[in-house]
A and B are shown apart, each in its own frame.
Chain A
Amino acid sequence: MRTTFQTSYLQDVRLFPDVRRAIRYAALVALAAALPLVLDDFLLGEATNVLIWAVAGMGLMVLTGHAGQASLGHAAFLAVGCYANAILMERVDLPFVASFLAAGAITGLAGVLIAIPALRLHGIYLAIATLALSMLTEDIIVLAEPWTGGVTGLVAPDITIAGAQVDRYGSPDLFYWLCLVVALIVTLGYRNVLRTPLGRAFVAIRDSEISAQAMGVNVAVTKACAFGLSCMVTGWAGALMGHFIYTFNHEVFTVIISIQLLVMIVIGGLGSIQGAYWGALVLVGIPQVINIARDGAQAALGSSIVIPGIETGLFMAILILFILFEPRGIHGRLEKWKVYVELFPFCRRDMFRRQKSYLKTERMR
């Protein structure tokens, strides 16, 4: 097992605890940046999709995984970001970078506004309220027809950055790199939040509101911050998603998307940035795996097999398996394997078992 010898407090504050890890992540980023050179257009589109879902996942992760506020309504914020970006580009004629940033700000503001009534709600009640929000948004999109195009929807305007045409179909590699840059910036910002008082306040209100208050954490302000940041990032993901799917209407951002997003981060591993990426990989990967399996079955049996709803079914089955056997998701499982390998053969079976605590002062809520 490797132990980092600490010689200064700066080591704990840095992005990476040691050089090895920094090199590993740099290699990963280099690999991700080189993907357009290797993959064909279809697979590159899927890789882009993973990045967009990962950004959306990070948006929800900060709220649910770190601040502990469940939301079943994040499709609503994806929609706000998507429509805000498209409308700003089309009607106000803003360049993409400006409209993209503004879409994030608008969605973040919407999140803070939603947070104000939602502050009084806990757990399941908050989930239900946000679920209602998600359902309402579908109707609002239809009703706000002059802006959103109603049932017909909108077509994503063309993106031009520094003279270059960034198009999902025309130049998939440029669009992929755009998504990669957004994902990296969001990841970096997320990581920064986690190592500052704000991130610690998020975790504090998740684990014990009462003692967070006694430590001077203003619970209402912190929750509003969590909603604001979460929705801002989700709005950005929504804006990218709009460009990715090209045409969108009210049927794109349904409650199912909200649920998928939440399930995705649970499978990935709540409370970790990596979890958002793992979850996105599983979400986007499942249909591909099914396709490959279907082709294989067709070749073997000579007839095609079509099972309606298999993708969602498989996704939810994976969720159930994770909740039963690995509540900490893919990221948690990988961490455990890592410790197992590092300590081999000294890893004990109960190593990761947590002591249960039954006494909790929640009655003062």
Chain B
Amino acid sequence: MSLLDVDGVTVHFGGVTALERVSFTVEPGEIFAIVGPNGAGKSTLFNLISRFHEPEEGDVRFAGESLLRRAPSGIAGLGIARTFQNIELFEHSSVLQNLLVGRHTRRRASILAQILFTPAVRREEIAHRVAVERMIDFLDLQPHRDRIIAGLPYGIRKVVEVARALAIGPRMLLLDEPASGLSAEESRDMQFRIKDIRARMGVTVLMVEHDMGLVSAVSDRVLALADGRVLAIGTPSEVQSHPKVIEAYLGTEAAAP
């Protein structure tokens, strides 16, 4: 069974078609990339899975269960974690505190127990800390553990956001442009990290990315979107040589003056 099944979803914003009957599936353990020019509907697709947008038709199923019945805050609990294109970290908290928010769905103690800070809460906090510390080690964030996000460079923030998403303990990770704004070296690091996430944690990765170098280096399959429609699905080389994709990116000869 597919892990994620996007089934004929349509989203309009006023008169603008963001997505038009888009269907695809992501298999467990896959690294699946979505590419397309600006305004193709890639981020809309992510926000649809995060339940920030409501589709007019179609369904999104995760491990057989429809996501449309869930509230936005219920998605993380299912095991879907995400990052944001423009980095949405908690600016005035430390890296550690940010990652601990990722453990929110794993909390067990009642509000009263938290106010009283019972021994059970203490044990739970230590367990959260151990889990978060594993992510810090995995993504080499040790030097930045206690630093406030607002003072961190962009490249580090990108990694912190991935770490926070992984702290959820997800089955699927949605990466919204993981390499945007990164230097060539940082981008290459990110490439290895994405592969590591799959290899060492068994997390399925769905990502939106513009950098075709990164996409072809890590992804098993690629979906090309343009104007809210699926152009092609296949291996990176298949998609890159697909005539419709070339047309969407470079235009047709007839259209050229």
| Residues in A lying within 8 Å of B, measured CB to CB | 9-10, 12-13, 189, 192-193, 195-198, 200-201, 203-204, 206-208, 210-219, 225, 229, 271, 354-355, 357, 359-361, 364
Contacts and interface: CB of A to CB of B under 8 A. Distances in A.
5 contacts: A203-B97, A208-B89, A210-B84, A225-B111, A361-B85
B134 interface: no
Contacts of A203: 90, 92-93, 97, 101
Nearest to B149: A207
Contacts, number: 126
Interface of B: 47, 50, 52, 71-77, 81-82, 84-93, 96-97, 100-105, 107, 109, 111, 114-117, 121-122, 125-126, 128-130, 133, 150-151, 164, 168
A361 B117 contact: no
A208 B50 contact: no
B193 to A, nearest CB: 20
A6 to B, nearest CB: 10
B236 to A, nearest CB: 28
Contact of B86 (A196, A216, A361): A361
10 nearest A-B residue pairs (beta carbon): A216-B76, A211-B88, A216-B105, A196-B114, A207-B90, A359-B86, A192-B117, A197-B107, A218-B73, A213-B72
A89 B251 CA distance: 81
A210 B75 CA distance: 13
B52 A210 contact: yes
Contacts of B101: 200-201, 203-204, 212, 215, 217
Contacts of A210: 52, 84, 88
A214 B115 contact: no
A269 to B, nearest CB: 13
Nearest to A200: B101
A9 B76 contact: no
Contacts of A213: 50, 52, 72-73
Nearest to A201: B104
Contacts of B77: 216
A211 B73 CA distance: 10
B150 A193 contact: no
Contacts of B92: 203, 207, 271
A217 to B, nearest CB: 5
Contacts of A193: 114-115
Nearest to A197: B107
B2 to A, nearest CB: 22
A210 B81 CA distance: 13
Given A9-B130, A203-B90, A214 B103 contact: no
A203 to B, nearest CB: 6
A211 B77 CA distance: 14
A346 B81 CA distance: 41
Contacts of B88: 208, 210-211, 214, 360-361
Contacts of A189: 115-116
A197 B103 CA distance: 8
Name the residue among A192, A203, A207, A360 with the largest chain B CB count within 10 angstroms: A207
A212 B104 CA distance: 9
A220 B104 CA distance: 15
Given A10-B126, A197-B104, A357 B50 contact: no
Nearest to A210: B88
Contacts of A212: 73, 90, 101
